[in-house]
Amino acid sequence: MTAATPISPIPVAPAGLTRRAKRFVEVEGIRVRQQGIWRHRDAWIERGIPAAEIDRAVAFQDRWGGLALPPAPFYESGPRILGASVPEGSAVEGWWIPAGNGRVSMAYGFMVGPGGEFGIHGPRWVPLHASTDGWVESLALASHASRWAKAITRITGKAVDCLNLDGYEQVPEVQGLTDAWWRGTDSLIALYRGEAIGLDAPQCLEAHVYGGLDEWGLHGG
């Protein structure tokens, strides 16, 4: 039997990310071997899963499969390793692709939605970012901001709705939907609303304010 070709643990960032996210993936990420899901294609089609949805799962696996990133600052640290598995859903509801197992037992899973959104699916579907690229950009920005901020303030619950975002602009590369990042003159604010909406739990609203940032701290590439 021929030995499996060794895989380098150093990932190569997919095209299209910012320089900041590219550095984050290649410096802080690890690539681990995963089985190709294309071999399940015939069995999944026999189960009634559309070929187009299988193709989406394969495309996700080709781009992100096997990538382990540092813990996220919210959502119970995010997926342990990004990787697709059998699509879930129906022609009526739409189809979701599991995006990787959580690090702990959770009330929701991480999914790629019918339109390519990255989000959480539990009692209800909540798209967090318009794509998985946006999720990774958000992780990269959190890592960068936490390294350069002079102060980090965590705000929870109803107090999040009292944040004054006048003078801030939304950070476009994170492709925020339910969640978003905002950039001011010397600070960044990350808003995490997914759990509050998905679990109908307003107390889960959370914002992280990264203060005292200079121009490099605000952008970082």
Determine what percent of the chain is predicted with pLDDT higher than 90.
90
The residue ranges of every structural domain in the chain are: 19-135, 145-219
pTM over 0.85: yes
User: Six-digit token pair at 194?
Assistant: 């997914």
Alpha-carbon distance values, 211 to 23, 182, 186, 189, 190 (Å): 22, 12, 6, 9, 12
Predicted confidence (pLDDT) per residue in 71-126, tens digit: 999 999 999 999 999 999 999 999 999 999 999 989 999 999 999 999 999 999 99
Alpha-carbon distance values, 26 to 12, 14, 168 (Å): 6, 10, 30
Distance CA 107, CA 85 (A): 19
Over residues 175-195, mean pLDDT: 98
pLDDT mean across residues, the chain: 94
Beta-sheet strand order (sheet of 169-170): 151-156, 206-211, 187-192, 180-183, 169-170
Q: Please measure the distance between the N-terminal and C-terminal CA atoms of the chain and give it in whole angstroms.
A: 46
pLDDT reading at 148 higher than 50: yes
Residue 79: phi and psi, rounded to 5, are: -65, 145
Predicted confidence (pLDDT) per residue in 31-86, tens digit: 998 878 888 889 999 999 999 999 999 999 999 999 999 999 999 999 999 999 99
What is the reported pLDDT for 84? 96
Distance CA 221, CA 218 (A): 9
